[in-house]
Chain A
Amino acid sequence: MDLALQLLFTGIGIGAVYALVALGFVLIFRATNVVNFAQGEFSMVAAYLMVVAIEAGLPYWAAFIVALLGMALLGVIFNLGVYYPLRHRTYLPVIIATIGASILLANSVLAIYGPQPQVLEGWFETPGIQVGPVYLDSQYLLIIGVTICLVIFNFWFFEKTLLGKKLQATSQDKEMASLLGISVSTMIMITFIYSAVLGGLAGILVAPVLFVSIQMGSTIALKAFAATIIGGFGDVAGAIIGGLALGVIETFGAAYVSVPYKDGFAFLVLIAFLIFRPQGIFGERVAEKA
């Protein structure tokens, strides 16, 4: 039982990271109908921005704000440089452009900062607390807390605010939204900014656990992408549930079946969903009439 509790906590912690990145995938997909394969690199860039800001002498909280502002700027640049010029094309060129942007971001950081992995200290001085038989890593606690807050914020933002409803309207039907006087390009810009900040937040939160490295983004993004498919592509709740489920499944699979095949469990679940429920947990079945 003690073992299961410890595994459950760790699984939820790592799953929350997948969920945060998956949320970025979903928001951009809903707004633009394309998958942003650079979402993982957003996490990596933010972690490096944080490291650079701290090295420059800023206190932790100020470095955090600088990193998130930097991500907002990256969201603007990404929208104008990668999505906007291709917005009238089919989804394929845009997806390829996001893959290209992901490679560009990774290599730009490599060229500017070098290949050295970096240590980013966590928010708390205490690494964790022991509650009965379970050790609660303070950084994982923070990640879980932030994920819960973001779920609540997203619900409030998209359901209760005018801006959130405009964003939803844009994601559902761009033409109709435009006819209703909503600036579609502004809404898409806001979505990119929000997704970049979310991805960045995930990167900053997970960096004290996984270290800051060029590869950190791609490693997380692959699992987050699987989480979005499991949860139902395009569904915010699905991204969260998918991420958490994936984290828990792979952690338990590793502990009770096989450690070397840990990643295998995640992708086995993904394949099972693609075969038996391709729309994911929360996705709606889409059919076309002949």
Chain B
Amino acid sequence: MRLTRRDFAAGIAAGIAAPYLIKGAHAQGATIKIGMCAPVTGPAAESGGYAIKGAKLALEAVNKAGGILGKQGELIVEDDQTTNPGIVLAFSKLAAQSDIVGFLGSIRSTQVHAMAPDVIKLGKPVMIGGTDPNLTHMGNQWLFRCRPNDSYSGRVIAEYGVNTLAKKKWAVLHSTDAFGTAGGKALTEALTKLGAPPVLDQGYANQSQDFTPVVLAIKQSGADILGSYFTFENDLGIFARQLRQLGVNIPWVGSPSIVNITALKLAGPALYNTYGVADYAEDSSEGSKAFGKIYRDAVKVAPDNQSSWTFDAVNVLAQGINKAGTTEPGKVREAILAIKKFPGAEGEYNFDQNGDGLHGYNIVKNDKGKIVFDKHIEFND
């Protein structure tokens, strides 16, 4: 058989076109794909596992209920390595797959900041759990938050400490990353408005091995209550133990990490009798209770916000696509922003035009290792 120049050119053309044709055919295939950046490795790998489980459970439920636009949903996970470069790489890998219609970003604000420019370039909906208020106020129309932001957590911590616990001399401790800085600022502002400006505003670098200088600074400040924003559970565990060892037993109201499973395991009794603002509290609503049951049955571990926000993110995204009736990003965006009174695991979703779905926090107490719901504080402004 003789190979002509025309045969050769046709063969080359077919070879080049084949992957695209196959990919195109696949895009029209049986599933609707959702991409997820999650910390499979790195310091947050444990909580990353919970996050993936939460998302998978939601997708299972969505699929059982008829799927997304009549098709089965499929989750594609990429490891973000718990680092900023890691999430940029993970997101670029997912973004390169044109058949992925929506994404789950990170619970860490600093990582969401890192990926945000690429999110704008791609122009598809990305559900996030990062709570830095700026994330939904910096002109990025594709970020949709499935947790209440820190302007609310700061206000709830301040309000609870000042009005319920009747404490006025605050030490504010926060990580120096984007999440911690924004949280610390929000808490300081809220305290100042309530007439109780902090006597100590202390930052710390993530992955510190020793918090003795911080504990001694708190002790010397004469503070009678502590408010905190910790990013990593390891840091929180080390700090909590050293705080108690060095004899500081003032009331402590912390950001959501203070009640997550990893922190409770690592710090143990050092966190007893502390308070936390929790976006997820099992007894706070019917939706929260329902998620708690599903999660416990499937994972055999108590649920926390690491899994609840991804559970909600998948449900909200699926609802948005179904309501839009298409995967066209602009229409899905409008449909998500139109979601009101949606009962999620984290609470009732009422999206505003910035992309914030939740507007309040729960206060919970660590009662000898058991997380007990106290009350929910919702804001309308």
**Given the complex, which residues of B lie within 8 Å of A205, measured CB to CB?**
none
Q: Would you give the 0/1 interface string for B197-208, flagging 1 where the beta carbon is closer than 8 Å to chain A? A: 000001111011
**Given the complex, which residues of B lie within 8 Å of A254, measured CB to CB?**
213-214
Bound CA–CA A115/B41 (angstroms): 7
CB within 8 Å of B: which of A196-234? Answer: 209-211, 213-215, 219-220
> Contact between B213 and A119 (Cβ–Cβ < 8 Å)?
no
> Contact between A115 and B204 (Cβ–Cβ < 8 Å)?
no
Bound CA–CA A115/B216 (angstroms): 32
> Contact between A211 and B216 (Cβ–Cβ < 8 Å)?
no
**Given the complex, which residues of B lie within 8 Å of A127, measured CB to CB?**
245
**Given the complex, which residues of B lie within 8 Å of A220, measured CB to CB?**
209
Counting CB contacts under 8 A, is A135 at the interface?
yes
CB within 8 Å of A: which of B2-50? Answer: 40-43, 45-46, 48-49
> Contact between B234 and A211 (Cβ–Cβ < 8 Å)?
yes
Closest to A206 in B: B209
Q: Would you give the 0/1 interface string for A108-139, flagging 1 where the beta carbon is closer than 8 Å to chain B? A: 00100011110100000001100000010100
Closest to B219 in A: A3
CB within 8 Å of B: which of A244-290? Answer: 251, 254-255, 259-263
Counting CB contacts under 8 A, is A32 at the interface?
no
> Contact between A14 and B209 (Cβ–Cβ < 8 Å)?
yes
Q: Would you give the 0/1 interface string for B252-272, flagging 1 where the beta carbon is closer than 8 Å to chain A? A: 000000000010011010000
Bound CA–CA A261/B202 (angstroms): 12
Bound CA–CA A219/B246 (angstroms): 24
> Contact between B268 and A119 (Cβ–Cβ < 8 Å)?
yes
Least CB distance from A238 to B in Å reads 22
Counting CB contacts under 8 A, is B210 at the interface?
yes
Knowing A3-B216, A251-B212, A259-B213 are in contact, say whether A117-B205 is a contact too (CB < 8 A). no
Q: Would you give the 0/1 interface string for B170-203, flagging 1 where the beta carbon is closer than 8 Å to chain A? A: 0000001000000000000000000000000011
Bound CA–CA A113/B45 (angstroms): 12
Bound CA–CA A6/B238 (angstroms): 17
Bound CA–CA A254/B213 (angstroms): 6
Counting CB contacts under 8 A, is B346 at the interface?
no
Least CB distance from A204 to B in Å reads 16
**Given the complex, which residues of A lie within 8 Å of B220, measured CB to CB?**
3
> Contact between A260 and B204 (Cβ–Cβ < 8 Å)?
yes
Closest to A138 in B: B245
Counting CB contacts under 8 A, is A95 at the interface?
no
Counting CB contacts under 8 A, is B217 at the interface?
yes
**Given the complex, which residues of A lie within 8 Å of B247, measured CB to CB?**
135
CB within 8 Å of B: which of A142-187? Answer: none
A-B CB contact pairs (8 Å), 5 listed: A110-B41, A117-B234, A119-B266, A137-B245, A220-B209
Q: Which of B's residues lie within 8 Å of A, judged by CB?
A: 40-43, 45-46, 48-49, 176, 202-205, 207-210, 212-214, 216-217, 220, 233-234, 237-238, 245-247, 262, 265-266, 268
Q: Which of A's residues lie within 8 Å of B, judged by CB?
A: 3, 6-7, 10, 14, 107, 110, 114-117, 119, 127-128, 135, 137, 209-211, 213-215, 219-220, 251, 254-255, 259-263
